[in-house]
Structure 1
Amino acid sequence: MKKLINEPSTVVRDMLEGVVALSPATVLLADENVVIRSDLPEASQRKVAVLSGGGSGHEPAHAGYVGRGMLTVAVAGDVFTSPSADAVLAGIRAASGPAGALVIVKNYTGDRLNFGLAAELARADGIPVEIVVVADDVALKDTVPADRRRGIAGTVLVHKLAGAAAEQGLPLADVARVARSAADRLSSMGIALGSCTLPAVGKPGFGLGDEEIEVGLGIHGEQGVRRMPIASAEQLTSLVIETIEADGKVKSGDRVLLLVNGLGSTPPMELSIVARSAVAILERMGVTVERAWAGTFLSALDMPGFSLSLLPVSDQDLTLIDSFTDAIAWPRGGAVNKRRVLSSTAGGEDMVSSGKTTDAGTRLRKAIETIARALIAAEPQLTELDSLTGDGDLGTSMKRGAEAVLALPKESFSDVASGLMATANAMRKAIGGSSGPFYATALMRASRHLAGLDEPTAAQYSEAFLAAVQAISDLGGAKPGDRTMIDALNPAAQAFAGALAAGAPTATAWQNAIGAGIAGADATSSMRPRLGRASYLGDRAIGHPDGGAVAVTVWLRAISAFLSAFIFVH
């Protein structure tokens, strides 16, 4: 187990001290794991206090939501363990005045018992207290009665609405009504791609196969209501929304809040993909998404996965949800973009076809198609190499570029120059990172060299090859010996030109180019990288050839099928 902690026994206190250190709106009780707003007035002047909490491990909940316009108090227990009644009571006493306190509890036995007991003790002290229980997990709709369902991520929306109502100065009964109404309308459901690891345990709570996921789980590392094979983000999002719809609280014509919640280790990229699907599915259902957020709001430690929460809303709810809070974890905003795609304007990038196709253009197209297929086949090898010394995207980048080239219409290859320019533009559009600009620049330079030639000679191809290599060097600054694709390209281009100049047949000259390129790529294994991401590794990159250089050898070999009799005129 690798965790950035000090001691398992101090993780909660250490975490809370870090939260408070970065949030001037909060303060931490000295003798309890209770975070409280730091700007509270004298007790007699206080508005209704809004309290929540539970076991730790759900960060940024609950301490991240303490602030004006949201929670007044967050009470933290040990990891996935309810706080004690004494800790909850300490929070109520520290933050409440005559207006009383609203306690928002997620529907777990430990939380209900300890928060409920603390509320009774506070009432005995003369503090008015109301309790609202959140039970939003629709995954349990066929398993337990509605009032026995778990409280999960949608609870955060209840925090916001209740906190805003309290900040308006509403009396306790009205603040409780706002929270209770929201809890009654709320629906949530989660899906996990794996388990989580408790600091004190040191191993995952359950195991999953490489292609398995858990559907309908809570927030404490437990298994779901069923296990199923992994599916696409679109399919999983549809599954969750269909389950919520079947539960009956969300229907066509509703206006809703949407919370796309990460369970702890789901990257923003994946949450955005889920959000995209969720918004589109809801719109197709006739549901208007008034506000939506994607991020980690209530986690289960380091669990990979997501949950969706939907809350039908009125104009009054929107006013409360939009009201100000200085709680550091509330994401603000939430407006949904209704105009999400701007039509692009086509540019005149490709050379205009003359209407006829030269034999050389046709041969070039067949050669480039063969190169593209070779690069697609080499994806695993290139990915593995780039993972060792780079960021691991070379194989997929080259495959994406190759697929774009294969999709070009035959008309793009009316002659050699047009075909090279069309290939350059396809690579540029399909590949990000460095490979796209390098190959696009090289192909464009070669295209200009061969413009106007219906049947270029081998010598003219060689000159275009040398010009293309120089274009890559000019763009990126790489020179031979820097451990880049230049270390394969430069010797290959030089060997081809030299052999032709010496009178060698084109086939022989190209075999010399292949051999020189392979030798150059192999030599990168012993080079210390000077450019690119591999340069950050220093000597750690030594022992593995450069992925970009190896990619060059893939297409050098592929061209050998189209030697002098097929491409070149000597």
Structure 2
Amino acid sequence: MKKLLNDPRGVVREMLEGQVDLNPGQALLRDEDVVVRSDLPDPAARGVAVLSGGGSGHEPAHAGYVGAGMLHAAVAGDVFTSPSVDAVLAGIRAAAGPAGAVLIVKNYTGDRLNFGLAAELARAEGIPAEVVVVADDVALRDTVEPARRRGIAGTVLVHKVAGAAAAAGLPLEAVVAEARAAAAAIGTMGVALGACTVPAAGMPGFSLLEDEAELGLGIHGEQGVRRVPLRPADAFVEEILDTILADAALRAGERVALLVNGLGGTPPMELAVVARRALALLRERGLVVERAWCGNLLTALEMPGASLTVMRVNDALVARLDAPADAPAWPGSGRIAAARRLIGVSAVPAADVARQATPAGVAVRRAVLAAASALEAAEARLTALDSAAGDGDLGISMSRGAAALQALPDAAWAEAPAALVRMGEALRRAIAGSSGPFYATALLRAARALPAEPAPRDWSRALTAAVDAIAELGGARPGDRTMLDALRPAAEAFAGALESGRAPGAAWEEAVRAARAGAEATAAMRPRLGRASYLGDRALGTPDAGAAAAVVWLEALSPQFAH
């Protein structure tokens, strides 16, 4: 187990101390793991207090929602373990007054028992207290009756509604009624791609094969309702939302709010992909999405996966969701556009005029398509090389570039200089990162050095111009462990061989040999530029991927110089 912790037995207290240190609107009880608002007035002047809590490991829940307009206090138990009755009672005493307290509890036996008994003890002390149970997990719809379902990520929306009702000055009975209505209006279901590791256990709660996922799980590291084959994100979204919408009997024309929740180990990129399909599907079903949020809102430690919550809303609920809130983890207004906004940017496209291709244009096309095929075949090898000392994207970048070249229309190859310009435009659009600009600049510079019907020495001058352009753009020199370590020796060898009277084919073979030697030499070079430079000596032993890619297409051009 690798975690940035000290003693697992002290993780909850240390986590809460960090939480409070970072948020001046919060305070921590000295003798209990309870976070309260730091601006609470004297008990007699307090309105209804809203409390929640449960086991830790769900961060930012629950302490992250302590703040004006949401929770007055959050009670933290050990990881995935309900807090004690005494801790809950201490939270009630610290946050509530004669107006009473609402305890929002997820539907787990330990939480219901401990929060319920604490509420009873609070009543005995003269503090009115009511429990609102959240049971939003629709994955259990065929397993247990609705009242026995688990409480999961939809609880965050109940926090928001209850907190807004309390902030509006409503009495206890009214806050409880709104909280229960909110809890009844939500349905949630999740999917996990792997397990999480409870610090005290030191090992994952279950294991999955690379092609498996758990569908319909809770928030405590447990397995789901069923194990399913791994599938694309859209397919998971569709199955989850189909289940939620069927359970809630939502129909076209109804209004909803959407919550896309990460379980702790899912990057924002993947959550956004999920949110994109969720919004589209809800709209396809004729539902009006009034509000939507996306992020890690109620997690299961570092579990990779996500859950979707759909809440049926009306004007009153939307008003509560829109009410001001100053809790550090509340993600904001949730307002979204009625549809995706796409804005076109005007551009001056290159004009492809249909005309008879010149012999040079025909030769360029033949050579470029051969190079493109070679780059596609080398994708896996280039990816492996780039992964060793970079970000691992060069293989797919080169393959995308090859596809863009193959897709150029016939008219793009009419003559050699124009073909190079069109190639540069295609690579600029197709290849992200640094390779696209380098190759596009090189091709544009080479095009300016070529006549319409170039001779071998014209091609040599064009290659040298292209290499010079890459050096100027990136600031690299031979020896810096870049593509220049292959390209510069190739350009020099080609020029020298032609100057000495070698035939073009033989001269190009010398260029390729020089490129291979230069690329192989990069394995012993300490990188000075690019991401590889961050690795220092750790990059040694593996050739530079950019130089290796250059060798791939240089080799593929060899047969063309025999024509």
Which bin holds the TM-score, normalised by the shorter protein?
over 0.9
> Which residue is equivalent to 1:265?
265
How far, CA to CA, are the matches of 1:360 and 1:342 in structure 2? 41
Q: TM-score normalised to the size of structure 1? A: 0.97
Instruction: Give runs of aligned pairs for residues 130-279 of structure 1, distance below 5 A.
Output: 130-279=130-279
Q: For the Cα contact (< 8 Å) 2:102–2:132, is it kept in 1?
A: yes
Deviates more, 1:89-98 or 1:372-381: 372-381
Q: How many angstroms does 1:428 deviate by? A: 0.6
1:416-465 Cα offsets, whole Å, 9 max, x none, are 12211111111111111100100010011112222x51x21111111111
Q: For the Cα contact (< 8 Å) 1:380–1:395, is it kept in 2?
A: yes
> Which residue is equivalent to 1:446?
446
Determine what percentage of the aligned residue pairs are the same residue: 61
What SS class does the counterpart of residue 563 from structure 1 fall into? Answer: helix
Gaps of 5+ in 1: 566-570
> Which residue is equivalent to 2:484?
486
Q: How many angstroms does 1:94 deviate by? A: 1.0
Q: How many angstroms does 1:363 deviate by? A: 2.4
- AA paired with 1:467? A
Instruction: Give runs of aligned pairs for residues 271-290 of structure 1, distance below 5 A.
Output: 271-290=271-290
Deviates more, 1:521-530 or 1:338-347: 338-347
- AA paired with 1:528? R
- AA paired with 1:415? E
What SS class does the counterpart of residue 307 from structure 2 fall into? Answer: strand
Q: For the Cα contact (< 8 Å) 2:135–2:146, is it kept in 1?
A: yes
Q: Aligned pair in 2 of structure 1 residues 35, 343: CA closer, same or farther (>3 Å)?
A: closer
Deviates more, 1:400-409 or 1:264-273: 400-409
> Which residue is equivalent to 2:525?
527
> Which residue is equivalent to 1:360?
360
1:92-121 Cα offsets, whole Å, 9 max, x none, are 111111110001000001101110111111
Q: For the Cα contact (< 8 Å) 1:446–1:467, is it kept in 2?
A: yes
Q: For the Cα contact (< 8 Å) 1:186–1:249, is it kept in 2?
A: no
> Which residue is equivalent to 2:503?
505
- AA paired with 1:69? G
CA RMSD in angstroms comes to 1.2
What SS class does the counterpart of residue 562 from structure 2 fall into? Answer: coil
> Which residue is equivalent to 2:120?
120
Q: How many angstroms does 1:206 deviate by? A: 0.3
- AA paired with 1:466? T
- AA paired with 1:71? L
Q: How many angstroms does 1:207 deviate by? A: 0.5
Q: How many angstroms does 1:366 deviate by? A: 2.4
Q: How many angstroms does 1:250 deviate by? A: 2.8
Correspondent of 2:537 among 536, 539, 555:
539
Q: How many angstroms does 1:337 deviate by? A: 2.2
**1:551 maps to 2:559:** no
> Which residue is equivalent to 2:321?
321
Q: How many angstroms does 1:249 deviate by? A: 4.2
- AA paired with 1:389? A
> Which residue is equivalent to 1:333?
333
- AA paired with 2:502? A
What SS class does the counterpart of residue 357 from structure 2 fall into? Answer: coil
How far, CA to CA, are the matches of 2:47 and 2:207 in structure 1? 47
Q: For the Cα contact (< 8 Å) 2:214–2:228, is it kept in 1?
A: yes
Q: For the Cα contact (< 8 Å) 2:352–2:411, is it kept in 1?
A: no
Q: How many angstroms does 1:376 deviate by? A: 1.4
**1:80 maps to 2:80:** yes
Matched positions, count: 563
> Which residue is equivalent to 2:493?
495
Post-superposition, which runs of at least 4 consecutive aligned residues in structure 1 deviate over 6 A?
none
Q: How many angstroms does 1:339 deviate by? A: 4.7
> Which residue is equivalent to 1:7?
7
- AA paired with 1:126? G
Q: For the Cα contact (< 8 Å) 1:353–1:418, is it kept in 2?
A: no
Q: For the Cα contact (< 8 Å) 1:499–1:512, is it kept in 2?
A: yes
How far, CA to CA, are the matches of 2:40 and 2:343 in structure 1? 51
Q: For the Cα contact (< 8 Å) 1:187–1:249, is it kept in 2?
A: no
How far, CA to CA, are the matches of 1:499 and 1:189 in structure 2? 68
Q: How many angstroms does 1:344 deviate by? A: 2.2
Q: Aligned pair in 2 of structure 1 residues 87, 147: CA closer, same or farther (>3 Å)?
A: same
What SS class does the counterpart of residue 396 from structure 2 fall into? Answer: helix
How far, CA to CA, are the matches of 2:418 and 2:346 in structure 1? 18
Q: How many angstroms does 1:252 deviate by? A: 1.6
Q: How many angstroms does 1:346 deviate by? A: 4.5
How far, CA to CA, are the matches of 1:160 and 1:188 in structure 2? 16
- AA paired with 2:327? A
Q: For the Cα contact (< 8 Å) 2:187–2:248, is it kept in 1?
A: no
Q: How many angstroms does 1:413 deviate by? A: 1.2
How far, CA to CA, are the matches of 2:221 and 2:512 in structure 1? 55
Deviates more, 1:381-390 or 1:334-343: 334-343
Q: For the Cα contact (< 8 Å) 1:365–1:410, is it kept in 2?
A: no
> Which residue is equivalent to 2:379?
379
